[in-house]
Structure 1
């Protein structure tokens, strides 16, 4: 299949931070999403094959919870009932479904990760990416040696080769990190799924600019799903509301949603066109012109955030680590 419809499904996120029964709220969120995916497919047609959901759409984000509290309240088990329900949803509607959630890992029982999982129409997890850049959440880089021993570099930077193209995930503000998208593109990624929950504006925001840049510099599609409002916490509901969009390999916006829950951010992705562009010599073929060896050597000379620094248990630890990194870079 070289052409199909992709949807950045803009749905409301209901935070479970203050919920009396957070697991029940997560189940209810999955049911709402299932109904909306089904209605979206009925509206957009059978060519709808890829649906990307917003960041932490099932739970919102932790506020003052400790690692242990948030793991118990909101983190999913990779083989648990929530993922099974989401896999059934993907199979029922015949779509690849990209969902972002906090999840546990039996190898790191004291931590949780923010994961983006792509579930296939066959009901299988074809990609699991744990976010590498996060301000207040543990990442694989914090437990680097052991994480590599268990999952290998392919588990750190996964690309799913599917019948609708090569899929990868760049989560939230990671779209501001050009190295991640470039590494995934060098591994073959053609479509970046971008689950996000971000401040929206009629003006171009830093993330909106970055989405266009990542598409152009990697000759890739970007399917970016933002929240359709965030309820259940004191932050104003519409602070993260609207602007879900699809961008082609020339940085053109194919579709963009306004505010509220919406299926408007949907468009046809044409892989044949993309692949022709990737094989066409010329100034615009930027991936073919990158001096990867040069930049790998130069980057290795600059010590920023260090691997293997097992994270502390509160926001203060993350802030202190960032301050130390800034001092190394600019002190």
Structure 2
């Protein structure tokens, strides 16, 4: 997997500063696209989903009032949708990055001079047999700016199944060997600010780590719901901007109720308050202004009294070990459940 431009290494400036690149503008508009999730039945269904995504990009610039978005942010699965597929079925709904789909998205980015971020199931020749969940950022020149893997899947909370997608944690040693330790929690330095993208929920340590590395804007994807408290606290506790994009109501003829965890897409500021939020569960563009220059002038790394906590963290043992998907990649949700059953290190 070819990674994006070098991610921000940890710096410990005397004043709590962090690595950046020059900003393109003092303030910019973030557009969160709350849109449907439609489970593609085949490649034709994927094309229809992609066409709809591209149509929504066009719609974002047809509004006709206010500033145009500088970055459009789509949810976790705008191209494939989601269903309880097997790994083989999911592999048929994977895209490659770069690939045919990203080229079409890149053309829209170039046309409108904007960044576009979106999630997808991804196959990568460097990771044969693995299904990846990746959030990608494409720049206004159509180039791929960043590809951030999902960091971890929650384990031990579902009844009878587990997720089979491969995350950083599932192949941690091999991932570090390929890309280096700094890529484990990536922060992309861009002319819009330092951006961290993730579909991981309820793991505040992940976002704190990214904030220490200089993340200024968190772009978080969801499907079928999320915890508002989790997202707002990411912004508040790290004094950063945090956007969440979730699905809208679903198609009535699909396999799930129209309102399956729909709505709630929003942008939160460093005080944890909403900059902008969807006021319905329908497809909607949520626009919020990010005054990045003024923010950066006063922003610093989180002020953590680490010496209080280090001994506890040093002695902590995670419930599940890393690297569990290095020797074996489960073939289905149920197979993942059977494979992980009994592998908890907590007794």
Task: Give the TM-score, by structure 2 length.
Answer: 0.82
- In structure 1, the gaps of 5 or more residues are 200-205, 280-284
Per the TM alignment, residue 323 of structure 1 is displaced from its structure 2 partner at its CA by: 4.8
**Could you tell me which of 156, 164, 167 is aligned with 2:192?**
164
Partner of 1:25, secondary structure, is helix
**Could you tell me which of 306, 312, 315 is aligned with 2:333?**
315
Match of 1:202 in 2: none
Match of 2:13 in 1: none
Match of 1:29 in 2: 49
Work out whether residues 212 and 247 of structure 1, in 8 Å CA contact, stay in contact via their aligned partners in 2. Answer: yes
- The answer to whether structure 1 residue 262 and structure 2 residue 280 are counterparts is no
Per the TM alignment, residue 23 of structure 1 is displaced from its structure 2 partner at its CA by: 1.9
Partner of 2:177, secondary structure, is helix
Partner of 1:238, secondary structure, is coil
C-alpha change, 1:272 and 1:101, in structure 2 (3 Å) is same
Per the TM alignment, residue 115 of structure 1 is displaced from its structure 2 partner at its CA by: 0.5
Per the TM alignment, residue 118 of structure 1 is displaced from its structure 2 partner at its CA by: 0.5
- 2-structure distance, mates of 1:117, 1:273: 27
- 1-structure distance, mates of 2:307, 2:264: 33
Question: Equivalences for 1:1-331 in 2 at 5 Å?
Answer: 1-16=25-40, 19=41, 22-43=42-63, 45-65=66-86, 67-72=87-92, 74-134=93-153, 135-136=162-163, 137-171=165-199, 174-199=200-225, 207-231=227-251, 233-257=254-278, 258-263=280-285, 265-279=286-300, 287-291=302-306, 294-295=309-310, 298-310=313-325, 311-320=329-338, 323-324=341-342, 328-329=345-346, 331=347
Work out whether residues 68 and 110 of structure 1, in 8 Å CA contact, stay in contact via their aligned partners in 2. Answer: no
C-alpha change, 1:129 and 1:300, in structure 2 (3 Å) is farther
Per the TM alignment, residue 55 of structure 1 is displaced from its structure 2 partner at its CA by: 1.4
Work out whether residues 7 and 223 of structure 1, in 8 Å CA contact, stay in contact via their aligned partners in 2. Answer: no
Per the TM alignment, residue 292 of structure 1 is displaced from its structure 2 partner at its CA by: 7.0
C-alpha change, 1:293 and 1:318, in structure 2 (3 Å) is farther
Work out whether residues 135 and 147 of structure 2, in 8 Å CA contact, stay in contact via their aligned partners in 1. Answer: yes
- In structure 2, the gaps of 5 or more residues are 1-24, 154-161
C-alpha change, 1:14 and 1:180, in structure 2 (3 Å) is same
Per the TM alignment, residue 299 of structure 1 is displaced from its structure 2 partner at its CA by: 4.8
- 1-structure distance, mates of 2:320, 2:303: 29
Per the TM alignment, residue 48 of structure 1 is displaced from its structure 2 partner at its CA by: 1.4
Task: Give the TM-score, by structure 1 length.
Answer: 0.85
Partner of 2:206, secondary structure, is helix
Question: Which of the two has greater helix per residue?
Answer: 1
